[in-house]
């Protein structure tokens, strides 16, 4: 499923093969939580060069519900996205919906963020839903505390995440037997900023033998140095022949640094969110606040060297106006640009790593 093509102090170059196509790594996985990207189409996403889409179990479970997706023919048929799809387990919502959930060992009781309806998601539920959705890569249901949470909290989260990982794998193995093209299952390493807990978590998970390993619980409150420090602890302990996925990261510079430490996969809402909110990434590496005053009369292209055609033909003044006027097209242009620059950076990185 994963082939490591090259490995050096600059990073790893590899390829993940799935039923819906190959994913060259290192890769950035755009976040289309509810089976869609905000502001751009999935056709846009493909033309930007994305090789895999990330969707979310919690969100799709609430709406439209996995049976609707299944009856539509699975996530690929339902969305029209033909390339690989990875689904997050819903574990992150323990972190992000902190006021709307209650964690127990059995799983998590959520209150739907839409209408308050009670719903329960545990390891078994999450894996079953992910199988039903029909993703190519699925994730274990984990507990993600803030990275700055005290050690006792991290210990409990690691132990729970390990217990849950075991249960996830058991259900996954059962379901795998009944499926013609079952998904790959990745485990998630927790442990906050506690190096020994991270070590323990990795070792236990590796012993259970998953298809890949995700590093969770980062980019949730710690400094960049702390994040890299944890990668330095975790990555060397992961098996070379399995893909590594740093969840929720991130900034371009963070991803560059993480690649050097041996990370293969990333996802992050930041490029899209910052785009919608007016921060534009340039191919030069610079970031600009396009909605600010100086750009009102800057009629030069958004990014003359952009990998995205629309950013070469449209003026900064136009994008400034569109976003200020709350025109949807502004979000579209901004999102295309930031995602385009992000994906382009990964392509460049891959080229540099190709032997």
Partner RNA sequence: GGGUCGGUCGCAUAGCGGCAAUUGCACGUGGCUGUAGACCACGCGUCCUUACGGACUACGGGGGUUCGAGUCCCUCCCGGCCCA
Cis preceding linkage at 26, omega within 30 = yes
Specify the residue, 78 or 95, whose C-beta has the smaller distance to RNA: 95
Number of neighbouring beta carbons within 10 Å of residue 299: 10
Find residue 110's DSSP bridge partners: 101, 119
Segment lying near RNA (by CB under 7 A), choices 103-111, 172-180, 286-294, 302-310:
286-294
Cis preceding linkage at 64, omega within 30 = yes
Query: Is 326 a residue that touches RNA (CB under 7 A)?
Result: yes
Pick the catalytic residue from 51, 142, 267, 303: 267
The size of the chain, in residues, is 355
Site string for RNA, 202-241 (x = CB under 7 A): ------------x-xx-xx---x-----------------
Query: Is 89 a residue that touches RNA (CB under 7 A)?
Result: yes
Three state DSSP letters for 81-143: CCCCEEEECCCHHHHHCHHHEEECCCCEEEECCCCCCEEEECHHHHHHHHHHHCCCEEECCCC
User: 15, 37, 38, 11: which is closest to 25 by C-alpha?
Assistant: 15
CB of 203 to RNA, least distance (A): 19
Query: Is 31 a residue that touches RNA (CB under 7 A)?
Result: yes
Specify the residue, 81 or 92, whose C-beta has the smaller distance to RNA: 92
Site string for RNA, 127-166 (x = CB under 7 A): ------------x--x-x----------------------
Find residue 119's DSSP bridge partners: 110
Pick the catalytic residue from 51, 88, 264, 303: 88
Specify the residue, 175 or 214, whose C-beta has the smaller distance to RNA: 214
User: Are 305 and 320 contacting, i.e. CB atoms less than 8 angstroms apart?
Assistant: no
Chain residues binding RNA by CB under 7 A are 31-33, 37-38, 54, 56, 59, 88-89, 91-93, 95-97, 99, 113, 139, 142, 144, 188, 214, 216-217, 219-220, 224, 247-251, 254, 267-270, 272-274, 276-279, 289, 291-294, 296, 324, 326, 328, 331
């Amino acid at each position: 499923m994963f082939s490591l093509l090259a490995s050096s102090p600059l990073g790893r170059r590899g390829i993940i093969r799935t039923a819906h196509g190959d994913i060259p790594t290192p890769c950035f996985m755009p976040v289309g939580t509810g089976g869609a990207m905000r502001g751009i189409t999935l056709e846009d996403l493909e033309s930007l060069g994305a090789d895999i889409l990330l969707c979310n179990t919690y969100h799709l479970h609430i709406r439209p519900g996995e049976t609707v997706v299944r009856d539509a023919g699975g996530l690929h048929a339902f969305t029209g996205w033909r390339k690989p799809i990875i689904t997050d387990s819903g574990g992150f919502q323990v972190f992000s919906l902190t006021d709307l959930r209650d964690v127990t060992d059995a799983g998590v009781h959520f209150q739907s963020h839409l209408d308050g309806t009670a719903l329960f998601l545990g390891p078994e539920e999450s894996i079953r839903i992910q199988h039903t959705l029909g993703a190519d890569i699925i994730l274990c249901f984990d507990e993600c505390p803030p990275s700055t949470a005290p050690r006792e909290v991290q210990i409990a989260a690691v132990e729970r995440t390990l217990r849950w990982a075991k249960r996830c794998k058991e259900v996954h193995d059962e379901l795998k037997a009944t499926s013609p093209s079952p998904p790959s299952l990745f485990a998630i390493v927790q442990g906050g900023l506690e190096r020994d807990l991270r070590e323990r978590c990795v070792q236990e998970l590796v012993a259970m033998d998953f298809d890949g390993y995700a590093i969770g619980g980062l980019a949730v409150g710690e400094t960049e140095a702390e994040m890299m420090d944890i990668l330095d602890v975790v990555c060397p302990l992961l098996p070379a022949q399995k893909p590594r996925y740093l969840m929720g990261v991130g900034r371009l510079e963070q991803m560059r640094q993480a690649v050097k430490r041996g990370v293969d996969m990333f996802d992050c809402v930041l490029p899209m969110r910052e785009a919608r909110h007016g921060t534009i990434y340039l191919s030069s590496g610079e970031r600009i606040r396009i909605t600010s005053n100086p750009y009102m009369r800057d009629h030069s292209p958004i990014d003359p060297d952009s990998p995205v055609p629309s950013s070469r033909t449209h003026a900064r003044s136009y994008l400034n106006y569109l976003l200020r006027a709350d025109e949807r097209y502004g979000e579209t242009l901004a999102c295309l640009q930031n995602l385009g620059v992000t994906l382009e950076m990964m392509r460049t990185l891959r080229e540099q790593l190709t032997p």
